């Protein structure tokens, strides 16, 4: 069987830093490396539900850790055409599910085909069901790594607790996995391209729901249902962001205002979609004006659009993200009433909206100023928000796939100001 491209990328990073293996237990990292997702992921538990062991050596097995009661989810995934990546399985008892699940039900029996599939999967299970996930990981490390070799972890809590059970040199593996995740594999790119087409349709649908007299809360509910119908998981709280007047001050809380009052002519709606499609983030943004906009506001939006397009043309492999977002050398910036109120961000995107290969803490000012090298295979969002005018904000955002030849936008919905008449 040929090696999975994601596993190959992780192994290449392990070899580069002379580590023998990496243990991933953070939800998105597990999903990235294995494709496994649990119905319990949405619980936002502070402890890991699943994990994956990826050894540097291809002669050792990639091992997935999961609750024994979740083995049937592998069958469900396979039946849905969703391949889960692993070579061996190790299970543990979550709460007391195993005791209950193993109890004999006289009146129930599994269908023959399901039983056969579960039996096949069970052949990949190593060892007995462990009492908890740490024991399952410890047993795997004892079987497949040498003591005093370096093992990386994306959660140092796990490493610290394991140190009591297994003598191992452990190091932080977060930056290693982020370096891998920032370069998208072909199957990821295919999903992200699909999500781009869906993002365009979400904006188109949202615009069709806007208008004077329409309540934003009703628009939110309608858009959320539309997203779910497109197999998109909306962001909890609101599937879209809404912004009105800023009074020259950027107040992020305005983006989360749940408006029950009707829209009025002259108001502005920031249409930033928030959701996930097949585990990958959708991050499109357009600006809509309720009713006809003044010429002054049209000119402002056109100016921001010119700036955005200039920034986008800089995006190519080999450049630095901080250089992309420089605005002091763009003439159009000086036509804005308050150039210092132009916010421009370039960030990698994937399973989360900020997936840039930057050392922790990667969301601080130093990361934005220093930037990161843009590489072929990255998917980069360019976000341009101007909130320095009493006319109202102008905001647009696109996501681009970086290739050796340049870049291509994954979103095709026009950047032009949307006037809702």
pLDDT of residue 115: 81
Q: Which residues are CB-contacts of 351 (< 8 A; sequence separation ≥ 6)?
A: 28, 31, 32, 181, 276, 279, 280, 281
Q: What is the dihedral of CA 18, 20, 24, 28, to 10 degrees?
A: 50
Q: What is the dihedral of CA 225, 228, 234, 240, to 10 degrees?
A: -40
pLDDT of residue 1: 44
Question: Domains of the chain by range and CATH?
Answer: 5-180 (3.40.350.10), 186-420 (3.90.230.10)
pLDDT of residue 336: 94
Alpha helices in 145-238 (DSSP H): 156-162, 174-182, 186-209, 216-229
pLDDT of residue 58: 95
pLDDT of residue 25: 97
In degrees, to the nearest 5, what angle opens at C-alpha 227 toward C-alphas 221 and 231? 140
Cα distance between residue 165 and residue 316, in whole Å: 47
pLDDT of residue 87: 97
User: Which class for 211: exposed (0-12), middle (13-18), buried (19 or more C-beta within 10 A)?
Assistant: middle
Q: Which residues of the chain have pLDDT under 70?
A: 1-2, 98-109, 165-167, 237, 239-259
Q: At what angle do helices 5-16 and 174-182 cross, to 10 degrees?
A: 130
For 139-167, the pLDDT digits (tens) are 999 999 877 789 999 999 999 988 876 66
pLDDT of residue 33: 97
pLDDT of residue 264: 85
In degrees, to the nearest 5, what angle opens at C-alpha 282 toward C-alphas 85 and 44? 60
For 79-88, the pLDDT digits (tens) are 888 889 999 9
Cis peptide leading into residue 361 (ω within 30°): yes
């Amino acid at each position: 069987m040929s090696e999975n491209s994601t596993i190959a990328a992780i192994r290449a990073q392990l070899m580069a830093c002379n580590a023998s293996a990496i243990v991933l237990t953070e939800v998105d990292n597990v999903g990235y490396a294995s494709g496994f997702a649990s119905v319990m992921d949405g619980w936002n538990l502070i402890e890991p539900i699943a994990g994956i062991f990826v050894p540097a050596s291809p002669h050792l097995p990639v091992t997935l850790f999961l609750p024994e009661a979740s083995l049937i989810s592998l069958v469900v995934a396979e039946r849905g055409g969703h391949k889960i990546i692993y070579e061996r399985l190790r299970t543990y008892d979550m709460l007391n599910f195993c005791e209950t699940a193993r109890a004999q039900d006289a009146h129930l029996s599994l269908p023959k085909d399901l039983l056969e599939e579960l039996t096949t999967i069970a052949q990949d299970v190593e060892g007995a069901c462990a009492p908890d996930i740490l024991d399952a990981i410890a047993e795997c490390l004892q079987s497949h790594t040498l003591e005093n070799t370096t093992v990386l972890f994306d959660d140092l809590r796990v490493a610290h607790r394991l140190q009591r059970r297994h003598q191992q040199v452990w190091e932080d593996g977060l930056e290693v996995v982020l370096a891998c995740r920032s370069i998208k594999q072909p199957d990821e790119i295919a999903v992200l391209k699909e999500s781009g087409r869906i993002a365009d349709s979400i904006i188109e649908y949202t615009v069709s729901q806007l208008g004077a007299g329409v309540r934003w809360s009703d628009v939110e509910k309608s858009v959320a249902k539309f997203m779910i119908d497109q197999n998109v998981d909306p962001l909890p709280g609101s599937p879209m962001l809404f912004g009105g007047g800023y009074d020259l001050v950027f107040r992020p809380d305005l983006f989360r205002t749940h408006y029950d009052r009707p829209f009025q002519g002259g108001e502005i709606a920031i249409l930033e979609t928030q959701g996930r499609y097949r585990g990958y983030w959708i991050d499109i943004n357009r600006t809509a004006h309720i009713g006809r906009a003044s010429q002054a506001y049209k000119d402002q939006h056109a100016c921001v659009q010119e700036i955005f397009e200039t920034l986008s043309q800089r995006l190519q492999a080999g450049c630095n993200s901080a250089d992309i977002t420089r605005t002091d050398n763009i003439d159009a910036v000086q036509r804005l009433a308050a150039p210092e109120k132009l916010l421009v961000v370039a960030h990698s995107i994937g399973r989360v909206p900020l997936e840039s290969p930057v050392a922790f803490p990667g969301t601080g000012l130093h990361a934005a100023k220093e930037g990161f090298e843009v590489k072929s295979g990255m998917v980069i969002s360019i976000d341009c928000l101007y909130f320095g005018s009493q006319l109202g904000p102008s905001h647009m955002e696109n996501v681009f796939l970086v290739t050796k030849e340049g870049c291509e936008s994954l979103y095709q919905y026009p950047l032009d100001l949307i006037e809702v008449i």
